[in-house]
Amino acid sequence: MSGTAAVSLAPAAYAPPAGLAAVRRGAFAVGAVAAALSLLGAWMDRGQFFRSYLVAFLYWLSIALGCSAIAMLHHLTRGGWGLMIRRVLEAASGTLPLVALFFVPLLFGLPELYRWARPDEVQADALLRHQAVYLNAPFFISRAALYFAIWCGFAWVLQRLSARQDATGDPALPRRMQMIAAPGLVLYCLTATFASIDWLMSLDSRWYSTIYGVYFVGGHAIAGLSFAVLVALYLSSRGPMSAAFRPIHFHDYGKLLLTFVVLWAYFAVSQLIIIWSGNLAEEITWYRGRLLGGWSGVSLALVTLHFALPFLLLLSREGKRNAGRLSVVAILLLVMRWVDLHWLALPALSPEGPAFHWLDAATAIALGGLWLSAFAGRLARRPLLPIRDPFLPEALAHD
């Protein structure tokens, strides 16, 4: 506990690095160019555009939502571990209104993506007629509006309380944030589950799995934490935060990431074992399309690069403490999240195998550039640590 005295709590000590402004401008420029290219692609090949765009949207959503959920988990448990990355999580969850905006173009592509949005097919299919009470465009859109209202609402309220804490240091605030985070997490799990059914599972409306929402949420946790760790590593590589971060902080994040990776694999393998053993025609087809044929390579990549390799790398102490090695794992996981979303979404639309299209990259870069620019802008607005949180000295002196 000897480090406590040496720690400074002045806001100026945690001013955002100057490089963030350049990141903001650069990301915006790249995003704008890619967005223009994507629009051109939409004009050339409408169907392909919406497929690519769906995955790109879900990808950046998963990072923003994952960060928001981890922030709520931090408020709920009042764990000291979250303080060092709280600003990163808050900046990312603050972008959720922008992500809601990203959702809007999808509304123009519902018939291209979903069978339930094509009236002639619904007429011809008894199951789709049954599901039409739930899977119809007006209800689909109102649900999406509700999901985003809840996600943005909780992020906004917690953000405001956090800003008030910076200003006043009111000791009652952590408790209030805890009280908001609890229902926030419950609602997040429910809305994310139904969002996963609406946006992903209904691509192939014959197939269903009760663990699907949990798997989706697990993916958010990995995406959010990998991104937050990567930003924390970037911040810790230059002043002023290089003095605040210690290897033990990253050791903790590495452990948490390891936990999330193992949980994700556990959800995935639970689903596989149950469906494989049951071997029912309506269920196993989902795996047949993914494990055999053109998508099998992607499945193998998920097992090795989304689970086995990160697992082994994160198991060792050095893998968690060494900035270089941890950033490799975080980048790998962020890439594999994108692959996993492809694997979830696209076999329903292109069953013969993965057909990489330049629009996949263009849409992902377009949304990513705009999103990162907004994120960097938000991160630069406030001190990089919640300087008046009562537990910050403890977190800084963590040994």
Q: Which of 45, 121, 282, 352 binds other proteins (CB under 8 A)?
A: 282
292 binds other proteins (CB under 8 A): no
Residues in contact with 171: Cβ distance below 8 Å, sequence separation at least 6, in sequence order: 390
- Cα separation, 66 vs 154, in Å, equals 13
Give the shortest CB-311-to-other proteins separation in angstroms: 12
State which residue, 282 or 352, has the beta carbon closest to other proteins.
Answer: 282
266 binds other proteins (CB under 8 A): yes
Alpha-carbon distances of 298 from 236, 269, 302, 347, rounded to whole Å: 34, 16, 6, 11
Alpha-carbon distances of 296 from 31, 208, 293, 299, 385, rounded to whole Å: 32, 20, 6, 5, 44
344 binds other proteins (CB under 8 A): no
Question: Quick check: helix, strand or coil at residue 106?
Answer: helix
267 binds other proteins (CB under 8 A): yes
Based on its alpha-carbon atoms, the radius of gyration of the chain, rounded to whole angstroms, reads 21
State which residue, 38 or 196, has the beta carbon closest to other proteins.
Answer: 196
State which residue, 1 or 10, has the beta carbon closest to other proteins.
Answer: 1
In the chain, count H helices and then E strands: 18, 0
Give the shortest CB-397-to-other proteins separation in angstroms: 7
5 binds other proteins (CB under 8 A): no
| Pick from 346, 196, 215, 220: nearest CA to 286 | 346
Alpha-carbon distances of 251 from 153, 233, 315, 385, rounded to whole Å: 32, 12, 11, 19
285 binds other proteins (CB under 8 A): no
193 binds other proteins (CB under 8 A): yes
Give the shortest CB-246-to-other proteins separation in angstroms: 12
Provide φ and ψ at 285, rounded to 5°.
-60, -35
Only one of the segments 49-57, 64-72, 208-216, 329-337 lies at the binding site for other proteins (rule: CB under 8 A); that segment is: 208-216
390 binds other proteins (CB under 8 A): yes
Pick out residues in 139-178 that bind other proteins (CB under 8 A).
Answer: 171, 174-175
**Which helix (H) or strand (E) element contains residue 267?**
helix 247-278
Tell whether the torsion through CA atoms of 185, 186, 187 and 189 is positive or negative: positive
Tokens representing residue 179 in the block? 């009280």
Q: Which of 21, 101, 127, 292 binds other proteins (CB under 8 A)?
A: 127
Give the side-chain half-sphere CA count within 13 A for 170: 13
Give the shortest CB-130-to-other proteins separation in angstroms: 5
394 binds other proteins (CB under 8 A): yes
Q: Which of 271, 327, 363, 373 binds other proteins (CB under 8 A)?
A: 271
Give the side-chain half-sphere CA count within 13 A for 76: 14
213 binds other proteins (CB under 8 A): yes
Provide φ and ψ at 388, rounded to 5°.
-110, 15
277 binds other proteins (CB under 8 A): yes
Q: Which of 104, 149, 190, 300 binds other proteins (CB under 8 A)?
A: 190
Q: Which of 116, 212, 250, 253 binds other proteins (CB under 8 A)?
A: 212
312 binds other proteins (CB under 8 A): no
Question: Quick check: helix, strand or coil at residue 250?
Answer: helix
Q: Which of 211, 243, 301, 339 binds other proteins (CB under 8 A)?
A: 211
Q: Which of 136, 270, 322, 350 binds other proteins (CB under 8 A)?
A: 270
189 binds other proteins (CB under 8 A): yes
Tokens representing residue 269 in the block? 């393998």
Binding site for other proteins (CB under 8 A): 1-2, 78, 127, 130-131, 134, 171, 174-175, 182, 186, 189-190, 193, 197, 208-214, 248, 262, 266-267, 270-271, 273-275, 277-278, 280, 282, 390-391, 394, 397-399
